[in-house]
Amino acid sequence: MCGNRLNDWKTMPTRRRTGSAGAPGADTSTPSRRIAPASIDALLLAYLAAAAAGAFLLARALDRSTGAAALAAFGYALSGFVASMTGNLVFLAGAASLPWLILGVRACAHPGPGAMLGAAAATAAALLAGDAQPIVIGVLLGAALAAAEGGWRAAARGAAGVALGALLAGVQLLPSLAHVPRTVRHLGLTAEEQIQWALSPWRLLELFSPGFFGQREGTIWAEVFLGLAPSPPNTVPFADSAFLGLPVLLLALRGVRAGRRTAVLATAAAALLWLALGHHAGATQALGWVPVWGTFRYAEKLLGPLALALTLLAAHGLDGVLAQGAPRRRNWLLAAAGATIVWALLLWSGAVEAALAALGHAEVAPLAVRHLLDGLTYPILGLAALAAALLAPLPAPARGGLAAASVLAASAAALPFALHPAPSSCAGPGWLAGLEAAPPGPRIGTPNFREADPRAPDAWEQSWCDMATAGLPPYAAAARVDQLDTYTGLDPLRFLKVFDAFGVERWLAFRRFGLTHLVLLPPADEAEARILEPAVAGGRQVPTPPGSGLQAVAVPHRPWASFAPAVVAAPDPQATLGRLQALVAEGSEAVVIQAGQPVPAAPGRVLAARRGVESVEIEAEADGPALLVVNDAWWPGWETRIDGTPAPVLAADVLVRGIPFPAGRHTVVMRYEPPEVAWGLAASGLGAAGCLALAALAWRRRGRR
């Protein structure tokens, strides 16, 4: 959603930053350090291990051999999509929880409280992971697998387990449901967002030929993607890699005809592919009206569930191939080898390039074919390794283990297309904590950040380092520094309206909200310099990390907590915003509140202020009845007491909190206690009680047996 409010200079063409443009006297002793602690690496590995373990146990639950289950585990956890999501923890957590969710719901094919308890636990874990799309898919696919074995009663047990899991996750689910209507997601998707990052049909080639769309190691420039399947306003695909490997695809085709379970998996794979293609295949047009589903973005995300369905099919296919005699296995492999040879000949002969040119892609055709030729090594070596495993004079379990090892090797070899780690040494956001500012600390803005040139060989590393060092959201959180911008799909409507209302003047206007510093790049041109000039007016440069190319400017600002010199009132948010614009244009320091009538204003002094995570305590004194303005977000759920007596919290200047303050010296305590959190805790308590009851019932039945 950030694309809806990017200011003019954020959308300017990128340019490479070299050397240091820091302020004179910058501290050259600033140490380099990792952008994130090593514990993040451990967390990423834990998610990948959870994805592998879930896929393995799910395949075993579907009666697959150990080798076939290992193939599903390696193929899914190291697939291009899942590995690419190591750069996005929410989607990685969703990918890790998906096989466990299917496993838990599918277990309800067998009667008993233990199965429902497993479904509830898996559902709660998936909901707490936070990625909604895989949850919908996991529940539906798990219920379909359960029904294929146990009929409608099994599906009903699965639904009951899912409902109990939703209760268990109520502490997160109910506040989220209350929050969404206050954000831009309540407005629905724009036409551009509906088609953004839909899976291009051209990218299906990348399932066995990694790097086709130009996601080469060390660069983010995707010229083939731009030439064949641009997804406005993006210049790169959603996932860095879509690789699965030729062995997985061939075995998945072989597994389609294995029985009722594989019929469900094959149907799911076909449906997921259709959904992933989005508007290219008519899925967006057909399902855009469906509640909830119609609000999901980025259809290419469904590559993850598609990879799981295909690797489970491949597990069935491997067991089917192992059950065949050697001559049939040999003939099957020869047919696959023949198809690979034909594909190679088409590439080498120029037929593919000619076909691309005939379709209107003459400019990018040579590069596309070169990428496909570069990727040709992977299907050839993958097929050779699979053939060696399946034709080895060994027992079937050993051949299955070798086949799984071949998939592991192929997936690991293709990981550089999916993993683009940040540099081990980088200035990072730590320097921001040293910016001088009154309590509760610095509050920064980054008005003209530009990513590194995507054509540069080290573009990935440079981009992550630059964003972290500049303190872009969410990197500023690591330094405990406020950032007056957002990076979220759930932008609050209030903030978005204010951000848009002030246009290029916003960073000057934001001084009202306690903006203490701007972190800038040197202007790219005279036009950008003219835009930035009022934003930094009256400021002074402060030191920045050497070699970062950044400038930091401390700007005059309204204190974090202060008394309003004058107060005006407006009846609703829109009128409040209009009055705020007028006050800023006039250069007035008056504060506008959303109320029927203004409250008195009087001079005062803030004597002490302490801000916690969900609480604020301020000691102040006023010469008369006044309005205390606290430059933290106004939001439903904040409660205020003055010397223990409840007091109202008003929306001041649209975004922040205003508290009518009586004359004299008083202590103000504000706490964030939204009722939806209490309801969520109650729902989670009820879900926990239900789970304990199921556990007790399962234990009792086990004791009887």
- Looking at residues 182-207, what average pLDDT do you find? 90
pLDDT score at 452: 67
Task: Give the residue from 538, 539, 576 showing the smallest Cα distance to 656.
Answer: 576
- Looking at residues 351-376, what average pLDDT do you find? 92
pLDDT in tens, 615-653: 999 999 999 999 999 999 999 999 999 999 999 999 999
Q: Is residue 682 part of a domain?
A: no
Cβ pair 123, 139 in contact under 8 A: yes
pLDDT score at 705: 64
Report phi then psi at 538, rounded to 5.
80, 5
pLDDT in tens, 236-275: 889 989 999 999 999 999 998 767 889 999 999 999 999 9
Q: Report the 10 Å Cβ neighbour count for 63.
A: 13
Cβ pair 219, 460 in contact under 8 A: yes
Q: Are residues 111 and 72 in the same domain?
A: yes
d(CA 600, CA 610): 25
Residue with the larger pLDDT of the pair 223 and 18: 223
Q: What's the alpha-carbon Rg for the chain, to the nearest Å?
A: 29
Return the structure tokens found at 627: 């309005």
Q: Are residues 427 and 446 in the same domain?
A: yes
Q: Are residues 410 and 465 in the same domain?
A: no
Residue 474 DSSP symbol: T
d(CA 177, CA 683): 13
Q: Is residue 680 part of a domain?
A: no
* pLDDT for 17 beyond 80: no
* pLDDT for 362 beyond 50: yes
d(CA 110, CA 267): 23
Task: Give the residue from 505, 495, 496 showing the smallest Cα distance to 536.
Answer: 505
Q: Is residue 685 part of a domain?
A: no
Average pLDDT, the chain: 88
What separation in angstroms does the CA of 347 have from each of 285, 350, 356, 382, 595? 34, 6, 11, 18, 70
Residue with the larger pLDDT of the pair 555 and 332: 555
Q: Are residues 17 and 85 in the same domain?
A: no
Percent of the chain with pLDDT over 70: 91
Residue with the larger pLDDT of the pair 184 and 75: 75
d(CA 202, CA 465): 32
* First CA to last CA distance, the chain: 56
The upper half-sphere exposure of residue 84, i.e. CA atoms within 13 Å in the direction of its Cβ, equals 26
Show the 3-state SS of 97-149. Answer: HHHHHHHHHHHHHCCCHHHHHHHHHHHHHHHHHCCHHHHHHHHHHHHHHHHHH
* pLDDT for 36 beyond 50: yes
- Angle between the N-to-C axes of helices 303-322 and 38-61, in degrees from 0 to 180, rounded to the nearest 10: 50
pLDDT band per the 50, 70, 90 thresholds, residue 37 = low
Question: Any alpha helices (H) in 62-112, and if so which ranges?
Answer: 66-77, 80-84, 89-106
Q: Is residue 657 part of a domain?
A: yes
* pLDDT for 31 beyond 60: no
Return the structure tokens found at 174: 């109910």
Cβ pair 684, 170 in contact under 8 A: yes
Count of domains in the chain?
3
Q: Is residue 96 part of a domain?
A: yes
Task: Give the residue from 479, 518, 511 showing the smallest Cα distance to 656.
Answer: 511
pLDDT score at 422: 58
Return the structure tokens found at 90: 């929410």
Q: Is residue 473 part of a domain?
A: yes
pLDDT band per the 50, 70, 90 thresholds, residue 292 = confident
* pLDDT for 502 beyond 80: yes
Cβ pair 505, 9 in contact under 8 A: no
* pLDDT for 119 beyond 90: yes
Q: Are residues 582 and 605 in the same domain?
A: yes
Q: Are residues 185 and 57 in the same domain?
A: yes
- Looking at residues 332-357, what average pLDDT do you find? 92
Cβ pair 485, 447 in contact under 8 A: no
pLDDT score at 23: 29
What separation in angstroms does the CA of 139 have from each of 99, 100, 107, 616, 654? 10, 10, 12, 41, 41
Q: Is residue 691 part of a domain?
A: no
Return the structure tokens found at 50: 């959870």
Q: Is residue 492 part of a domain?
A: yes
Q: Are residues 330 and 354 in the same domain?
A: yes
Cβ pair 659, 627 in contact under 8 A: yes
pLDDT score at 26: 31
Hey, is 552 helix, strand or coil? strand
Residue 630 bridge partners (DSSP): 561, 657
What separation in angstroms does the CA of 312 have from each of 255, 305, 408, 412, 600? 9, 11, 15, 19, 68
* pLDDT for 407 beyond 50: yes
Hey, is 188 helix, strand or coil? coil
pLDDT band per the 50, 70, 90 thresholds, residue 226 = confident
- Angle between the N-to-C axes of helices 38-61 and 89-106, in degrees from 0 to 180, rounded to the nearest 10: 20
d(CA 199, CA 195): 9
* pLDDT for 10 beyond 80: no
pLDDT in tens, 427-476: 888 899 899 999 899 999 999 887 667 677 667 677 778 888 999 988 88
Q: Are residues 573 and 606 in the same domain?
A: yes
Q: Are residues 31 and 45 in the same domain?
A: no
Cβ pair 167, 682 in contact under 8 A: no
d(CA 25, CA 629): 36
Q: Are residues 405 and 355 in the same domain?
A: yes
Q: Are residues 387 and 356 in the same domain?
A: yes
Task: Give the residue from 115, 123, 117 showing the smallest Cα distance to 140.
Answer: 123
- Backbone region of residue 606 per phi and psi (left: phi > 0; alpha: psi in -120 to 50; beta: other values): beta
pLDDT band per the 50, 70, 90 thresholds, residue 6 = very low
Hey, is 98 helix, strand or coil? helix
* pLDDT for 487 beyond 70: yes
Q: Which domain holds residue 586?
A: 561-673
Residue type, 576: T
Residues sharing a CB contact under 8 Å with residue 470, sequence separation 6 or more, in sequence order: 429, 446, 449, 519, 548, 550
* pLDDT for 27 beyond 80: no
Q: Are residues 443 and 326 in the same domain?
A: no
- Angle between the N-to-C axes of helices 365-375 and 377-391, in degrees from 0 to 180, rounded to the nearest 10: 30
Buried b (16+ CB within 10 A) or exposed e, 650-667: bbbbbbbbbbbbeeeebe
